[in-house]
Every structure is written in structure tokens, then in C-alpha cells.
Amino acid sequence: MEELWHFIGGRRVEGKSGRFSEAYEPMTGAAISRVPLASRDEVREAIADAAAAQREWAAVNPQRRARVLMKFVDIVGREKERLAAILAREHGKTLADAQGEIQRGVEVAEFCIGVPHLMKGEFTDSAAAGLDVYSMRQPLGVVAGITPFNFPVMIPMWKFAPAIACGNSFILKPSERDPGAPLFLAELMLEAGLPPGVLNVVNGDKEAVDALLEDPEVKAIGFVGSTPVAEYVYSHGAAHGKRVQCFGGAKNHMVIMPDADMDQAVDALVGAAYGSGGERCMAISVAVPVGEATADALVARLEPRVENLRVGPSTDPSADFGPLITRAHLERVKDYVALGVQEGAKLRVDGRGFKMQGYENGFYMGGCLFDEVRPEMRIYKEEIFGPVLSVVRARGFDEALSLANDHEYGNGVAIYTRDGDAAREFAARVEVGMVGVNVPIPTPLAYYTFGGWKRSMFGDLNQHGPDAIRFYTKTKTVASRWPGGVRTGASFVMPTLS
């Protein structure tokens, strides 16, 4: 088993706390690395190092900062295969899926190359006689990101690329379940010309997170993970005076209207529900066919497709999806399937017994399909985060819309229809942050922003796109008048410019 490290001040630093967790190779079930869990003192060292590096980094002009990202994008292109191999090995997703994840991360780094333009302030010439007003965006200082296991490359890049482009230094606390790829990314940023200390990686668990949340020198926290932890990080971070944005769990619905192209809808559903084993915050986990005839047709077509899904090791190019992240998570997902049966839902496809020949200790299960799921059931209310799709039958458009609106999560949603009016009304009225119209996983592109509503997001500014520049900078507004322009004496009334 390899012992991993922290990455501080541009070099690998051995863990000193004496505490470790294990990371696995889900396709074989083997423990492959010992992950050091940082103590408060180790986190403090990383923060102090990042603070010292930030002062010089903020003084580097934005075009030069952008050039580091340009080079980074090139280097990631060169290292794509190696990065995908590390990612897929630790996470379990297929290599093709890993490549897709890397691409979606790179696109945010590409967006951030525009930082000289994105950070520009405003200017008003002669707001009053001889008085100019302008605003500027300045970096916050040291900021931190706490990221989940399911996108160990993309989400760290969504966070550190804009933060660093804006002149901050960044401390990444990746998931302790697959930290190999994020550690590699930090080395690639160094190779791209980033000064040591501007991107530090500390591995750890709650102790490291609390140290980041409570340290006065950390000015902002970006979190992605499950909702209970998101809520904790949001309130605890805010209580310590930080700017915080936290993205949480999801239960994404896909509404299938009676006029939908059923072949297209079924293809979309199978990919969006079972891709990456359902371990995506934008996975569709609830299908809502409208009308009994639509529901019967949908389930009849889905059943054989789910039975025939190809589950395999991440290295198998013909696999639709791979194993789940850990044995504990696999058991949790299987427990949810048992619960669904107990709750009275109809289990049409049961993938719990799936065994991968030659990989008997891997964390595999096949796809599961439930029909006749009811809104009061826990399998509907809670996020399962596995290859399990629930069909909830709705009588009409309004009932389908209410299902999505009444659910506590509001990350992504989709509607399949040929009716432009229905689609338009759905997009306008649905209480969800990201909406697809005949698009199953409406993950916004890098130059838009990403974020859910309700209990899928705590905070106000979204991830990536223009919101990221706002999140990672503070605005300063300057009113300036030069001595030659001062022609009156002191004024004691509230200044107005008109």
C-alpha cells in the first residue's frame, strides 16, 4: 500500500498526525493507499504557507496569472490518459467517463484564462464635478475548497482555477476516498508555473475541515458534498465570518410527457440514471411518466435495457458503468433497495446479486429499477447515490411539476416532450436550479454557472462562470477627486451626486 502525502509549499509533505484512512481500488476491492489525515497544526502550516505565497501571487498581473492556466490546460491535455487512469482506479468510473470528467474540469480552467477581462471593474467619469468613481475586484486572500469523492478532478478544478486566477491562494481538502488525482493536479499546476504555496493540498477528515472553517486567515470556503455536511459547513463557516458556498445532494427528476419521443427518452434515462453507477449529483434518479399509458410504455422499454446494462471494471471499454466507491456505500445502496421492497414499491429489475467474474471482491452491483414508487417512501425522499432508478407515475403535467417542486432537493431536472409550450411552462415554474428540455443531464457549460436550489445549495453565488469571479473577489469602490477640483469648503450634509 502506498502512503500518500499532503502537498504544501510546492512539495510532498509526509503526514505527521499518525492518523490515516484507506483508499481502495473499487474494481478489485483492494486497499491501495494510506491517506494521511491532517491535524489542526498541519492545516495551520498549510494556511500560513498559502498566506505567504498569496501576497506575491496577487501582485502578479492578471495576464500572467492567466498564462499559468493556459499552460496548465496544455499539460492536462498531455497527461490526460495518466490522470484518467489514476481517477478511474481510485473512483471506479470507466476510463471514458473519467476522460469526460477531466474535460468538464478543463473547460472551467479555459474560462478562467479570460480573468483579465472578467476581473475588470467599473468606471464613471465625472460622476460629479471633478469626481470620478470606479470599482475594482480584489482577491480575498487564502481560500479553501472541500470536495466530494464523485468528481475528484472536475470539482477541485472548478474551485481552484477561478480562485487562483483571481489572485487568491487555495487550499484543497479533497475527499479522503480518492485523493490521488487531486494531488497529481497540484503537481501539474506547479509544472505550469504556479508559485509554490499558491495551491496547497491537505488530506483529512472533519478535523481538517473544522480547522479550515475556524481559521481567521481563511476568507472563503467552497464545499461540494452531501447535504448534511453542506449545511454544517455553511453554518459553521458563516459563524466564523467566512464567505461560504455549499453544494449538496440531489434527487433529480425526469418528466416524460405523453408526446415525448420514447426511444430518445429511454436512451437518455438509461445513460443519466446509471452512468457512473448513479454516483453523480446530476444523475436522474426519478422518472416521472405522465399518464398510465406513458408509464406502461416507459417501464416496458426500460426493463430490458436495465437488465442488459454492462457492469465492469473501469478498464473495460465496453462497460456502461463500474463499481461503487466503497464496500460500505455498496451495502448502503443495497439496503435502500431492500427498503424500497419493504415500502411496497415494485422492484422490476434487481441488480443486487450481480458478481463480476474475476473481480469477486470488487464493489459491484447491477442496475435496479423500481416502479410504482410513491412520494411518501424513503427511497423517493432520500438520495441513494447508486444505480437505482425509481418510477413515480403522475396523472398529469401539474402533478409531475409538483413532484419536482415539493421535493426537498432542487439540483437538476429534465422534461421530455415535443410540446414547446409545455416545456416553456415547465422551465418557468419548476423550483430547480438546472433544467433540461429533452436534455437529460443539464450540467451548465463553464461560462454559465452551476448550482441547485432548495436543500441542494446553501449560499447565493453559484459555481464557475461569472459567479465564481464574484465569489473569489471582493469589490472596492473608489470616489476620487484631485485637489484642483476642490472648489468648495467642507460640507456637512449627506453627499449626493446630483
- Judged by DSSP in three states, 73 sits in helix
Nearest to ligand NAD of 91, 393 (CB atom):
91
166 part of the active site = no
Residue 164 as a binder of ligand NAD (CB under 6 A): the answer is: no
User: What is the closest distance, in whole angstroms, from the C-beta atom of residue 483 to ligand NAD in the complex?
Assistant: 52
Strands lying side by side in the sheet with 243-247: 11-13, 6-8, 199-201, 169-173, 142-146, 218-224, 243-247, 457-458
Nearest to ligand NAD of 119, 183 (CB atom):
183
- The grid cell for 75 is 499539460
Residue 94 as a binder of ligand NAD (CB under 6 A): the answer is: no
Which member of 76, 161, 224, 430 binds ligand NAD (CB under 6 A)?
224
Which member of 281, 369, 404, 434 binds ligand NAD (CB under 6 A)?
281
Residue 225 as a binder of ligand NAD (CB under 6 A): the answer is: yes
- Site of grid cell 436512451: 267
Residue 371 as a binder of ligand NAD (CB under 6 A): the answer is: no
Q: Convert residues 107-146 into a mask of x (bound to ligand NAD by CB under 6 A) and - (unbound).
A: ---------------------------------------x
DSSP character at residue 372: S
Measured between alpha carbons, how far is 463 from 93 in angstroms, rounded to an integer? 23
- The grid cell for 127 is 460622476
Interstrand relation of 169-173 and 199-201 (parallel, antiparallel or unpaired): parallel
Q: Which of 224, 120, 174 is nearest to 475 (CA)?
A: 120
Residue nearest to ligand NAD as judged by C-beta position: 225
Give the CA radius of gyration of the chain.
Answer: 25
User: What is the closest distance, in whole angstroms, from the C-beta atom of residue 106 to ligand NAD in the complex?
Assistant: 17
Residue 182 as a binder of ligand NAD (CB under 6 A): the answer is: no
At position 396, the amino acid (one-letter code) is G
**Segment interacting with ligand NAD (CB under 6 A) among 111-119, 134-142, 171-179, 364-372:** 171-179
Residue 226 as a binder of ligand NAD (CB under 6 A): the answer is: yes
Residue 175 as a binder of ligand NAD (CB under 6 A): the answer is: yes
Nearest to ligand NAD of 232, 336 (CB atom):
232
Nearest to ligand NAD of 363, 385 (CB atom):
385
Per the CB < 8 A criterion, the answer to whether 234 and 228 are in contact is no
Say what the alpha-carbon torsion angle 231, 324, 201, 222 is, to the nearest 10 degrees.
-30
Residues 232-251 that bind ligand NAD (CB under 6 A): 232, 247-250
Q: Which of 231, 175, 228, 226 is nearest to 385 (CA)?
A: 226
Q: Is the sign of the CA dihedral 58, 60, 61, 64 positive or negative?
A: negative
Residue 42 as a binder of ligand NAD (CB under 6 A): the answer is: no
Residues 443-462 that bind ligand NAD (CB under 6 A): 452, 456
Which member of 147, 169, 245, 285 binds ligand NAD (CB under 6 A)?
147
Q: Which of 337, 262, 331 is nearest to 300 (CA)?
A: 262
- The grid cell for 132 is 470620478
The alpha helices in 193-242, defined as continuous H runs, are: 206-214, 227-239
HSE-up (13 A, CA, CB side) for residue 253: 33
User: What is the closest distance, in whole angstroms, from the C-beta atom of residue 341 to ligand NAD in the complex?
Assistant: 23
Measured between alpha carbons, how far is 346 from 361 in angstroms, rounded to an integer? 29
- Total of residues contacting ligand NAD (CB under 6 A): 27
Which member of 150, 168, 169, 473 binds ligand NAD (CB under 6 A)?
150
Residue 381 as a binder of ligand NAD (CB under 6 A): the answer is: no
Measured between alpha carbons, how far is 191 from 186 in angstroms, rounded to an integer? 9
Interstrand relation of 142-146 and 218-224 (parallel, antiparallel or unpaired): parallel
Residue 15 as a binder of ligand NAD (CB under 6 A): the answer is: no
Which member of 411, 449, 462, 473 binds ligand NAD (CB under 6 A)?
411
Residue 148 as a binder of ligand NAD (CB under 6 A): the answer is: yes
**Segment interacting with ligand NAD (CB under 6 A) among 185-193, 226-234, 336-344, 468-476:** 226-234
CB atoms within 10 A of CB 341: 13
User: Considering 112, 166, 246, 281, which one is annotated as catalytic?
Assistant: 281
Active site residues: 281
Residues that bind ligand NAD (CB under 6 A): 146-151, 173, 175-176, 205-206, 209, 224-226, 229, 232, 247-250, 281, 383, 385, 411, 452, 456
